[in-house]
Chain A
Amino acid sequence: MTEPSSSSHQEIFQESPSASPSEDATIAPRMKSKDLPELDEAQPPEYTIMDEFQSLTPLREYQMDEQALLAESIPDRPLIGPLVPLAMLREEYERGSQGFVRQIDWLMSHGHIGIRRTKGDGDCFYRSLAFAYCERIMHAPDAELAVMSAISSIEATPALLEAAGFQPLVFEDFYEMFLSLVRKILAPDENGKVLTPAALLGAFNDPETSNSIVVYLRMLTSAQIRSDPDISNFLLSPETAEFVEPRVFCEHFVEAMGKEADHPQMQALAQALRVHVSVAYLDGHSSGQNGDEVTFVHLDKAVGTVPGAEPVMLLYRPGHYDILDTRSEDPMDYYT
C-alpha cells in the first residue's frame, strides 16, 4: 500500500458542520508509539470532534464488503451472542453471494449447524477464541482434567509475558480475571456456585470481564510472537505488506484493542494457550482440498495440548470471526 492520502486534510466538526476543510497539508513530525524517542514523517493532525464519546475502535467497513457482514457492525449486537442455526446466516446470503450459500450448505452438511456470533469490533478473534476455549473446557468429557490442564497452561503464561518485557503491573489484573473465570468452571465461588453455561455467556457479555480477557489474550499473543522465531521472523505489516520488526508489529497490530488478528496472531495464541484451533474460511469462492467447498486452517501444532481434545472451531468471513458449532442452539437448561 502507498502513503496515506496526505492531501485529504479533512476535519469533520459535528458541532459546526459549516467548517470548511483546511487545504494545507505540510509534512510534520508525528508521534509513533510508546517509548520511542524518534519521530516519523507524517502529516499534521486531523480529527473529528464527537458529540458523544464513541468507541475507540472504528469499524472497518472497508473490509466488510459483504452485505450480510455489515450486520456485525450494529452497535447493540452483544459481545457474544446466543447459539443460532447456521441456516440463519445462510438466509442473509440467499439474495447475495451464491458462493457463500454453497459454502454454508457444505458446512451444514458436514455437521457444522450452529453459529455463535461475535461483535465485529476488531476484537472478535480474541473474544471468540476465549469463549470457545472456556466452553470447550466446560463440555469436555473429562472436565476436571480439562480444567486442570487449562489452568496449568494459563499459569505458565505470566513468565512468558515477563520474559517479553511486560511489567506484572500492567497484566496481572487481566491475568487474574481470565484465570479465575476458568477456575470457576469447576471450583465453586464464595456463593457455592460453579460457572454455568449461562453464566459463562453472561461473563463474556459483561464488558469489563470480557474486555479484560481480550486484553490478556492480546498481551499473551504479543509475548508469544516476540519469543517465537518461527513466527517473529515472518511478520508482514498488514498495511504495507513489508517485513516488520516484532516489536513494531506487536505494538501496532496486537496490543492495541480493536486491531484485527491475522495468521501470526492466531498461530501465536494457539501455541501460548496450548489449544488446537480450526478455522473454516468462508470467502464465497475458493475450495478446500479433496473437492471440499470450504478450506479449514488447522492451528494444531501447539505443544502440550491435551491428547484427543476437540479443537476450538471458528468461522472466518473476510474481516470477521464467529464461533462455529456442531449444535444449532443452546440446550434448554442453558439459561436456567
Chain B
Amino acid sequence: MAVSSRRLQKELAEIQKQGTPVGITLLSADDFQTWLFSVEVLGETVYAGEVFALMFRFDGQYPIQPPAVQFLVDEKYTSPVHPHVYSNGHICASILGNEWSPVLSVVAVCVTIQSMLASCKKKERPPDNDRYVRHAPDNPKKTQFVYHDDTGIS
C-alpha cells in the first residue's frame, strides 16, 4: 500500500478510536481521496452559531506534501468571512503551503483552522477577494500564496 493510503488509514483509525476535538466532527471519509469535517468555533467568537465544512483532498504525495484544504461552499455550507479565507473557500495559511510538515495530521489541520477562526476579531474578506475568486483554480494547491514571514521566498 502506498505511503499516503497507509497513513490515512491510520489517521482514520485514530479518529474512530479517539474521536475528534471539541467543535470538529468527521462528516465523511469514504475513501482516501476526499474527507469532510464540520468545524465550529465554541465560546466567545464572531462565528457564534455558524458551522462550516472543511474539505480535504489528498493525492499520492500526502503526507510529504500537504493535502488540498478548503472550506466547502455549496447549498448547505458557506465560507467563513475571515481576512485569510476567500469566499470560494480557499484559505491562505502557510501550513497548507511551504510550512507544511508531515508531522501535521488531518486533525491537527482542523484544529489549526479552528484556532485561526477563533482568534478572529473582525469578520472581513481578504482585500483582493473578488479578483482572486474570479481567477482562482479549482484546486487551492494550484495557488502559490506568498506568506509574509518568509522573506526571500515567493
Q: Which residues of A contact B (CB under 8 A)?
A: 1, 4, 6, 10-11, 13, 15-16, 19, 22, 24, 26, 28-40, 42-51, 53-54, 56-58, 60, 62, 166-167, 169-171, 173-174, 177, 208, 211-212, 215, 218-219, 222, 239, 251-252, 255-258
Contacts and interface: CB of A to CB of B under 8 A. Distances in A.
B102 A215 contact: yes
A60 B154 CA distance: 9
A248 B93 CA distance: 16
Given A33-B99, A212-B64, A19 B131 contact: yes
26 contacts: A1-B151, A4-B151, A11-B128, A16-B135, A28-B83, A29-B120, A31-B94, A31-B116, A32-B94, A33-B95, A36-B115, A37-B119, A44-B127, A46-B146, A48-B144, A49-B135, A56-B97, A57-B98, A60-B153, A170-B103, A170-B105, A218-B101, A256-B99, A256-B101, A257-B101, A257-B102
A12 to B, nearest CB: 9
A15 B134 CA distance: 11
B101 A49 contact: no
A35 B83 contact: no
A120 B33 CA distance: 31
A47 B101 contact: no
A312 to B, nearest CB: 24
A58 B144 CA distance: 10
B140 to A, nearest CB: 9
Contacts of B7: 169, 173
Contact of B149 (A4, A170, A215): A4
A4 B148 CA distance: 6
A157 to B, nearest CB: 15
A166 B143 CA distance: 30
A59 to B, nearest CB: 9
Given A30-B148, A208-B3, A212-B64, A45 B128 contact: yes
Given A33-B112, A62-B152, A169-B10, 17 more contacts: A10-B146, A19-B135, A30-B147, A31-B94, A31-B95, A33-B99, A45-B126, A57-B98, A60-B152, A166-B103, A170-B102, A173-B3, A255-B101, A256-B101, A257-B65, A257-B101, A257-B102
B7, B139, B145, B152 — most chain A CB neighbours (10 Å)? B152
Interface residues of B, number: 58
A15 B131 CA distance: 13
B118 interface: yes
A331 B94 CA distance: 45
B103 A49 contact: no
A217 B77 CA distance: 41
A170 B14 CA distance: 11
B97, B98, B100, B102 — most chain A CB neighbours (10 Å)? B102
A33 to B, nearest CB: 6
A256 B111 CA distance: 18
The SS class assigned to the A binding surface is loop
B2, B116, B146 — most chain A CB neighbours (10 Å)? B146
A76 B150 CA distance: 26
Interface of B: 2-3, 6-7, 10-11, 14, 63-66, 83-84, 92-95, 97-105, 108-109, 111-112, 115-116, 118-120, 126-128, 131-132, 135-137, 139, 141-154
Given A30-B148, A30-B149, A56-B65, A44 B10 contact: no
Contacts of B150: 4, 239
Given A212-B64, A215-B64, A45 B112 contact: no
B112 A36 contact: yes
Contacts of A48: 143-144, 146, 154
B143 A252 contact: no
Contacts of A4: 148-151
